[in-house]
A = this chain, B = another copy of it.
Amino acid sequence: MASSTPKNPKPQPDRTRRSERSRQAILTAALDLIGESGYQRLTIEAIAARAGVGKQTIYRWWPSKAAVLLDAFVALGEEAADGGTELPDTGDLAADLKAVVRATVDELNSPRFDAPSRALAAESVVNPELCAQFTERVLEPQLELYVRRIRAAQEAGQADPDADPRTALELIVGPLAHRWLLRTLPLTHAYADAVVDLALRGLTPR
């Protein structure tokens, strides 16, 4: 155990010397380009050219086009700083969920988020490695907030304590994702409200 630098086949580059300027330029270029031309036409070459960066600089730090996009999307999310926030808890579960779900609908309908998140979703459907990254870094932290809010409701007696919070959350999030991804019908506040109401009340008559 003498060698202090155990040479891997591909010795990863020295992160301390990485150019922050280039990193920013690449992420910005990726977001700009996907907004302009769509995912199909987003190429590494175009990103490099737009960012004023050598292609190798991208290949050095990211394993794929989708990975660049994921980082770009995370950076976009951090701007909006909605990562750490907790879901509201006013005591009214239905109202709180509707508020959050309406905000999500607005985000999904905003062009700024739509293009990159669609691209990531599409890539994730077909690329398990990226999918794992995407869910871990973006999706699950969001879903965890729902779990906590539902659990609080259960403790407060506003929700059936036997229900699995994870399933409950997916009962709300799943339909929204379905409409958004497959564009079956428009994704509106009214629909968001209807989903929340029905998920809380259930289909069986009371």
Contact = CB atoms under 8 A, between A and B. Distances in A.
Given A135-B183, A175-B167, A150 B202 contact: no
A176 B174 contact: yes
Interface in A151-168: 157-161, 163-164, 166-168
B200 A204 contact: yes
Given A195-B167, A201-B204, A205-B160, A182 B121 contact: yes
Interface stretch (A10-18, A55-63, A122-130): A122-130
Contact of A170 (B118, B125, B164, B179): B179
Nearest to A166: B185
Number of copies: 4
A182 B118 contact: no
Given A168-B198, A171-B198, A121 B125 contact: yes
**Interface residue range, chain A:** 35 or more
A177 interface: yes
Interface in A40-57: 40
Contacts of A185: 166
Interface in A122-142: 122-128, 131-132, 134-135, 139-140
Given A181-B181, A199-B171, A204-B201, A194 B121 contact: no
Contacts of A194: 164, 167
The 10 lowest CB-CB distance pairs between A and B, nearest first, are: A202-B202, A174-B174, A174-B175, A174-B178, A122-B125, A170-B175, A122-B126, A122-B122, A160-B205, A201-B202
